[in-house]
Amino acid sequence: MADVAERAGVSTSTVSRTLRGLSTVSPEVRARVEEAARELNFAVSRQAASLVTGRTGTMAVLVPTLDSWFMGAALSSLAPLLRAAGMELNVYMIADLAERTSFFERLPARRNADALLVFCFDLTDEETTRLDNLGMPVIYVSQHVEGRPSVYVDDVVGARRATRHLINLGHRRIAFAHTANVRGFSFSSRERLLGYQQALTEAGIPLDDDLVVATPPRDKRGTTQAVGNLLSLREPPTAVFAEQDELAASVISTLRTVQIQVPERVSVLGFDDQLMAEWLDLSTVAQSPSDMGRAAAELALELISDSEADRGRHIVLPTHLIPRGTTAPPPAPLGEREANGPAQGRNA
Amino acid sequence: MADVAERAGVSTSTVSRTLRGLSTVSPEVRARVEEAARELNFAVSRQAASLVTGRTGTMAVLVPTLDSWFMGAALSSLAPLLRAAGMELNVYMIADLAERTSFFERLPARRNADALLVFCFDLTDEETTRLDNLGMPVIYVSQHVEGRPSVYVDDVVGARRATRHLINLGHRRIAFAHTANVRGFSFSSRERLLGYQQALTEAGIPLDDDLVVATPPRDKRGTTQAVGNLLSLREPPTAVFAEQDELAASVISTLRTVQIQVPERVSVLGFDDQLMAEWLDLSTVAQSPSDMGRAAAELALELISDSEADRGRHIVLPTHLIPRGTTAPPPAPLGEREANGPAQGRNA
DNA sequence: GTGAAAGCGCTAACAG
DNA sequence: CTGTTAGCGCTTTCAC
């Protein structure tokens, strides 16, 4: 910066003021400084600046993974907002319990960011408390934490609607497939199960633990086994509500492999409405991680600039049921089919 | 840090030495300092540290998007390496030309990172030169730049292999579908087209521009139109090589919508080997963005710590053809089928 | 093995 | 409107 000052024939203060866009610089001096800066390829060191301002110009995000549809969409929509606000994006990815422990022990974000966005974790009270003392606004995304700023969709309601859709179609044996919860790494899964259970109970359908199956994430074999468990039940389900589109896709693929038609024999319903849902003509519950990312970024920027702002605000975004081709009425029971001909004609 | 020093009854120098793990601290003092630091929840300010060391402890990555399979996988595999090296991950996402221009003009990463990983961009010479003067190692990922460290797969070879697979199956009318190149935002696309063309030429099959179609990324309508163009040709293709799995999925979905069986009537081949390729039983060319991310991170760390290291090194990772269920021999020509009965029986 | 002191590059009063 | 000055919190000589 001294170089720029010298070249422009002014003091470093003036260079600093110019580069920060303060209006208290005369136009001609501003022009000289800007040119000098350009010629010297000068860029302000955020490090040095933050040392004195106390602000880092960085937004930190804590994520369980980066290779998921959800995180990709959320971060992609969040990034332009940060850029517009002149902030950088610092990603802390925590993939396992060891990294998690060390993160919460050392809290490396401390003093190195102006706000933290925590995505998708199922945090313990202790962890939440630890974050309270981080010295910066912490926003919870895709999860709600009592008394802290949160942005999420109502997974319970979404899952309840989804299940009701299946019930309305006439299904009574409805399975719920979820990804095995790597401890504390999936907040929504639990909530969606709850919604599923609520819908069944409301409809007077008894809960059956055998209909709830888990599979490790992105594991073809796991899905095959889970589906196998369902198919070998005394009274197998006529519909499967998968907690995520990816899982739904895997379930469909498994069913079709064994010649079980979807939706004629078994209906499958997802959650997310990823791009692939359209390709697969998958019925699903839509949520928008992009909207969540944006809302979270806006909230964070607000909390950074206005320390008076409401620190307990919850932003709840909507979900929508998108009925497509993988859900249909259940086939007629075996007895009736034999008596009345093909199930197709039952409702004609 | 002064607080920690006081609490531990030592000077800040000693605290600094302790926290950085230097061995010139006596065990008992070290213990005292560490406890004081823990009690005070102290975390070193990277900002202040970097001001004097000149190193920021940050790796910057420049990416065109975050919501793609490729970037997700690459960043997910890269993150643990950085974490192990005690570095943070700073993401610059550039989504359009305006952001791109401003990034290269201002180069905000200057002095705010120790190395820069540039992903997937089709850079101009001017941009490359600009990065040369960034004052930190710049590693190009999923693209090669003459004389600069690069990590990539050989898209030309991969695409040639893919095309050859189709030729070997008996196809002669082979289409190439690629995503419309938003100017300068897709390096691989061009290379894959080249490989496709080479394979055809080697096999003595004339190139036909009508067989090369483009569609905006992730645009169902665009795909429908592109496929429509192919189907309405005087001599339509019997195989489509899609430059990405996602595009292949979209093509298959379009074809099936109009009752054109895959692979009986038209074969479809992808590139990437995403998870969805398995669900769709999609034949494809596998590449590993995870390996690329890891290799890039390792290379970057090496270049940071060893300024003598070879700055022109290229790391080329392999691709593999994964034949699955969406590629098959072409149907017998119409004339022959009429003469000889169903195509199925032709080779019996 | 430890402390004192200088200074990294910048911003924020405060004068002028 | 601009310059001078004093740190921000750390690391790094250099003494001891």
Q: How far is the CA of B52 from the C1' of D12 (A)?
A: 9
Cβ of A51 and B48 within 8 Å? yes
Any strand D atom closer than 7 Å to A344 CB: no
Note whether B179 contacts A: Cβ–Cβ < 8 A. Answer: no
Residue A341 has pLDDT above 80, yes or no: no
User: A318 to chain B, minimum CA–CA distance in Å?
Assistant: 21
User: B187 to chain A, minimum CA–CA distance in Å?
Assistant: 20
Residue A22 has pLDDT above 90, yes or no: no
Residue range A333-340: mean pLDDT, rounded = 55
Q: How far is the CA of B53 from the C1' of D10 (A)?
A: 9
Cβ of A83 and B75 within 8 Å? no
pLDDT tier for residue A312 given thresholds of 50, 70 and 90: confident
Report the pLDDT value the prediction gives residue B23, as an integer from 0 to 100.
Answer: 78
Residues 6 or more apart whose CB falls under 8 angstroms from that of A95 comprise: A64, A65, B76, B79, B80
Q: How far is the CA of A39 from the C1' of D9 (A)?
A: 31
Q: What is the rounded distance in angstroms from the CA atom of residue B236 to the CA atom of residue B194?
A: 21
Q: What is the pLDDT of residues B261-306, one digit of tens each?
A: 999 999 999 999 998 898 889 999 999 999 999 999 999 999 998 8
pLDDT > 90: percent of chain A:
75
Cβ of A56 and B69 within 8 Å? no
Any strand D atom closer than 7 Å to B52 CB: yes
Q: Which residues of B touch A106 (CB under 8 A)?
A: 43
Q: What is the rounded distance in angstroms from the CA atom of residue A300 to the CA atom of residue A296?
A: 6
Residue range B183-191: mean pLDDT, rounded = 83
Report the pLDDT value the prediction gives residue B336, as an integer from 0 to 100.
Answer: 59
- The answer to whether A206 and A168 are in contact (CB under 8 A) is no
DSSP-H helix ranges across chain B: 2-8, 12-19, 27-39, 46-53, 69-84, 97-106, 125-132, 155-169, 187-202, 220-231, 245-257, 275-279, 289-305, 334-340
Residue B52 has pLDDT above 80, yes or no: yes
User: A198 to chain B, minimum CA–CA distance in Å?
Assistant: 31
Is the torsion defined by CA of A102, A103, A107, A108 positive or negative? positive
Residue A19: CB atoms within 10 Å: 19
Report the pLDDT value the prediction gives residue B348, as an integer from 0 to 100.
Answer: 32
Chain B residue whose CA is closest to A74: B67
Any strand D atom closer than 7 Å to B348 CB: no
Any strand C atom closer than 7 Å to B12 CB: yes
User: B88 to chain A, minimum CA–CA distance in Å?
Assistant: 7
Q: What is the rounded distance in angstroms from the CA atom of residue A180 to the CA atom of residue A225?
A: 13
Residue with minimal CA–C1' distance to C8 is B52
Report the pLDDT value the prediction gives residue B1, as an integer from 0 to 100.
Answer: 86
Residues 6 or more apart whose CB falls under 8 angstroms from that of B280 comprise: A253, B248, B249, B252, B326
Q: What is the rounded distance in angstroms from the CA atom of residue B39 to the CA atom of residue B167?
A: 69
Q: How far is the CA of A7 from the C1' of C16 (A)?
A: 23
Cβ of A72 and B72 within 8 Å? yes
Any strand D atom closer than 7 Å to B48 CB: yes
Residue B75 has pLDDT above 80, yes or no: yes
Q: What is the rounded distance in angstroms from the CA atom of residue A91 to the CA atom of residue B141?
A: 19
pTM, to two decimals: 0.91
Q: What is the pLDDT of residues A210-232, one digit of tens each?
A: 999 999 988 889 999 999 999 99
Over the Cα atoms of chain B, what is R_g?
26
Report the pLDDT value the prediction gives residue B308, as an integer from 0 to 100.
Answer: 78
Stretch 89-118 of chain A: residues touching chain B, C-beta under 8 Å: 89-93, 95, 99, 106-108, 110-112
Report the pLDDT value the prediction gives residue B334, as an integer from 0 to 100.
Answer: 62
> Can you list the domains of chain A with their CATH numbers?
2-44 (1.10.260.40), 54-153+289-319 (3.40.50.2300), 156-287+322-347 (3.40.50.2300)
Report the pLDDT value the prediction gives residue B311, as an integer from 0 to 100.
Answer: 81
pLDDT tier for residue B184 given thresholds of 50, 70 and 90: confident
